[in-house]
Amino acid sequence: MPTPKVKAADFFLPFGRIGKSAAGILLAGELILALVAWQLSGGGLLPTPSRVLTSMTKILSESYFFDNFFSTLGLVLQAMGLSIVIAMVVSYLYLIPVFTPIARFIMKCRYLTLTGLIFLFTLLTSNGHSLKISLLIFGIVPFFVTSLVSVIDSIDKAEFELCKSLRMTNWEAWWEVVILGQLDQVFEVMRQNFAISWIMITMVEGLNMSEGGLGAMLIKSNKYIDLGSVFGILVIIFFIGVCSDYLLGMLRKWFFPYTTFNTRN
């Protein structure tokens, strides 16, 4: 069946659908326009794309970059792994009345700023690495729990009724519907919230720079107003985050091929 031609008006219609080739051309065109606008508006303190590219090339050619990259990556993966486990336990226990207030309190903790709590976490941790992990977990878990609880609350009540008709106990229904039945959504929540760790990483690595990391590199460059390097590191972090998001999306399709996906994400 021939592919229908895309009209110019289709690009501006709500719920408009265009083919992959047209979407690729649109993305490339908008990216080029953004880079041209940035190049023309740059100069002075604001680095131009060419200057940022030069800084990125220099950063990537340095041997210490990969040491800092793997330090940051290890910190992010460790914090994300612990956060996912904690968030899943809290969210699954949310349906048990005695644990519901605890889960709701943790959800509200996403409004707490870390700035006033750094001193408390410093007292509670034994070294810089533990401090960074603790701060990342505290910043990530409330958002994970909020998203997971939202998924649990959106479960169709008919699924629980079906379990009752099959004479399952409450614990069996909890296991089948909430835990096993929502594993694909847990993976999607993890993918969507993975960006939080990359947003926070520069802040926590700046508290203790003994282990290095991309955050430490960024803070040092910012201290000396080397904005070319600052933007270069930001672009590198952005690229790593986009690649991570794509990889997690592919893993979800591989592990849960039976689920539907939002292609706009």
Mean pLDDT, the chain, as a whole number?
A: 84
Burial 80-112 (b: 16+ CB within 10 A, else e): bebbbebbbebbbebbeeeeeeebeebbeebee
Question: Is residue 9 assigned to a domain?
Answer: no
Question: Is residue 222 assigned to a domain?
Answer: yes
Confidence of residue 20 (pLDDT cuts 50, 70, 90): confident
Percent of the chain with pLDDT over 70: 91
Q: What is the tally of structural domains in the chain?
A: 1
163 beta partners: none
Q: Residue 126 class from Cβ within 10 Å (0-12 exposed, 13-18 middle, 19+ buried)?
A: exposed
What gap in Å lies between CA 226 and CA 41, rounded to an integer? 18
- Other beta carbons within 10 angstroms of residue 188's beta carbon come to 21
Instruction: Evaluate if residue 143 carries a pLDDT over 80.
Output: yes
Question: Is residue 16 assigned to a domain?
Answer: no
Provide the CATH number for the domain around residue 222. 1.10.3720.10
| Model confidence, pTM | 0.80
Question: Is residue 1 assigned to a domain?
Answer: no
The rounded Cα 106 to chain-centroid distance in angstroms is 19
Q: Are 13 and 26 in contact (CB under 8 A)?
A: no
Question: Is residue 29 assigned to a domain?
Answer: no
Range of the domain at 177: 49-255
Question: Is residue 181 assigned to a domain?
Answer: yes
How far apart, in Å, are the Cα atoms of 254 and each of 180, 247, 259? 17, 11, 10
| pLDDT tens, residue by residue, 187-246 | 888 888 888 888 888 888 888 787 888 888 888 888 887 888 888 888 888 888 888 888
Question: Is residue 22 assigned to a domain?
Answer: no
Question: Is residue 59 assigned to a domain?
Answer: yes
